[in-house]
Every structure is written in C-alpha cells, then in structure tokens.
Amino acid sequence: MTLDIEALSIRFEERLRQVAVADSPFVTEAASHLIAAGGKRFRPQLVYLASGFGGEVDEEQLLKAALVMELTHVASLYHDDVMDEADVRRSAPSANSRWGNSIAILIGDYLFAKASILVADLGADYVRLQAETFTRLVQGQIAETRGPGTGEAPLEHYLQVIADKTGSLIAASALFGAMIAGAPQSIREALAAYGEEIGLVFQLSDDIIDITSDVTGKTPGTDLREGVPTLPTLLLEASRDPADQPLKDLLAGDLSDDAALAEALAVLRAHPVVEKARAEVCRHADLARQHLAPLPEGDAKQLLLQVCDDLVKRSA
C-alpha cells in the first residue's frame, strides 16, 4: 500500500512533542530540548518505508512504532552526550552542558520510559524486540568505553561496537515497520539484515564526518578528543609507514586544547585513511542494497535504495 510519508511525518512531530510533556514544566522543557532541536528522524522514516512490504497498515500502530524508535534513540543521545562530555548536539547546547550530568541522564531515562509505555500498546513481540535491541545498544556502548580486550583485534572490536550501538536500533526500526505491516518472515529477515547493514553505513559515515565536516551540529573532532577509535584512526594505527608517526603522536597527545584539536583535524582530513574509510562506506552500502534484492519491486524498495545513496553522499 502507498503511504503519505509527508503527512505521517507531520503527525509524528506533533505526537513526539506531546510525548515529552511531563508533570512539571521543567521536565517538559528538558525532555523537549533535543526533540525540538531537530534531527533527521532517520529511524521513523525507516519504520514507514519498511511497512510498505506487507498488507494494510494501521496508521496509529505505525506512528507508535516510529515514536518508540525515535524516543529510544533520543534517550540514548542524552546519555551519550554525558559519556562523551559533548557540549553541542543538533546545533543546540547539549542537555548535560545546560543542566548537568544528573539531569541529562534522568531525562534520558524519562524518555526511555515514555518509549516503554508506547511499545506496551504494540504487544509482547514489540516489547521483546525493543528490549533485545536495548541490550545490544548498551553492550555496544560499554564495549566502546572499555576498548578491545587482550588479543581482540581493534578493527573487529570497532565493527562490533558500531553494529551494536547503532545497527541494532536501525535494524529494529526496519523490522518494526515490517511487523506493523504483517510482512512475511522472509521479508522481515531481509529488512532486518538491510537495517543492520545501513546501520553500519550510518555510523561509519557519522564517524567520518566527525572528522571532515564543520556543519554537523556537533563539535567536530569529538571522537578524537575523547580518544574514541573510529575507522580512519584505526586505519592510521594499522599503518606501518614511518611518515604517519607524527600524526599518530599528535592524535595520541592531549587534544583538550582547541588549537591542538584543529591541527589534528586538519592533518587527518588530508590523509588517505579518510578516503579508505569512505570506500568502506560504499562497500557496506552495496551489501545493504544486496539485502533488498529479494524484495518486491516498487516505490518502497526504490526509497530504501535511495537511503543507501543518501548515506553514502553524507560522508562523500
């Protein structure tokens, strides 16, 4: 069936605003903060598109599924900015920089609880999937924080981290859409595999633009400053070229000073590892496209293919 995604998106925004309303004006303000600051609404869009491969769709159920995914995502951003000590998110001051870490964490919990209320309306299968997804998300974040264990290859560790912290929720969004539409199992599996793969594409490109872009609405170089390994820095670490040593030393040093961070960013931006990382984005986008091959032709499939192109362009 054909969905009017624009009309749905308008209703979604209205509902998202309402969900943040709490018993006190302060909690409403703090919970609305990141929601009102914007965002791509990537996960809700995926819920809508994936619902195009089944039967009749109940719009209220679809909206609830989209809200659950976005609320879970926004809740995790409140927590993530505390962990990353980030000052800016979606071009607005982060909640932690405005109200401190404790409030930011509690608002994340509040929004996650709101997602739980909505997912309960959808039924036990949805609750289970959301909870399983959340266990992966949290474990991915813990693994990132702890770093690779002894004997664990840093690159494999990183890929597992981004699959868990980002791929899991994006895969669940595609699966939620397919479930709402009552799509057959084979289609659900294809869409979940596609979601998992574009989740990787999404996070790989996000990590590249943390280095290359000044217009992300976040502070460029946050990962470098926090010492969070990403594909470009892991590729650099793996290089045996002695000419790369000064940059490795620069990145290993103290980047808390803005001038030091700006210098590290400038040198890294010009380094071939950024192009190599972009090639990996393209490779994973191709894998995502392959998961769509068994799906019936039509507008929904074309739009999901378009998502792959758009994500590749994001970090190109």
Residues that bind Mg ion in the complex, under the rule CB under 5 A: 80, 84
Cα separation values, 24 from 19, 27, 272, Å: 13, 5, 52
Binding test (CB under 6 A) with ligand FPP, winner from 3, 36, 138, 303: 138
Q: How far is the CB of 216 from Mg ion (least distance, A)?
A: 11
Cα 236 from chain centroid (whole Å): 24
- 283's CB contacts (< 8 A; 6+ apart) are none
Please give the residues from 13 up to 72 whose contact with ligand FPP meets the rule CB under 6 A: none
Please give the residues from 250 up to 309 whose contact with ligand FPP meets the rule CB under 6 A: none
Of 80 and 197, which has the nearer Cβ to Mg ion? 80
Q: How far is the CB of 80 from Mg ion (least distance, A)?
A: 4
83 makes contact with ligand FPP (CB under 6 A): yes
Cα separation, 176 vs 75, in Å, equals 18
Q: How far is the CB of 56 from ligand FPP (least distance, A)?
A: 33
Stretch that binds ligand FPP, among 37-45, 48-56, 136-144, 265-273 (CB under 6 A): 136-144
Cα separation, 109 vs 116, in Å, equals 10
Give the position of tokens 């791929």. Answer: 167
- 146's CB contacts (< 8 A; 6+ apart) are none
196 makes contact with ligand FPP (CB under 6 A): no
Q: Within 13 A of 298's CA, how many CA atoms are on the CB side?
A: 13
Neighbours of 237 (CB within 10 A): 15
84 makes contact with ligand FPP (CB under 6 A): yes
164 makes contact with ligand FPP (CB under 6 A): no
In the complex, which residues of this chain contact ligand FPP (CB under 6 A)? Answer: 75-76, 79-80, 83-84, 108-109, 112, 137-138, 141, 165-166, 206, 210, 218
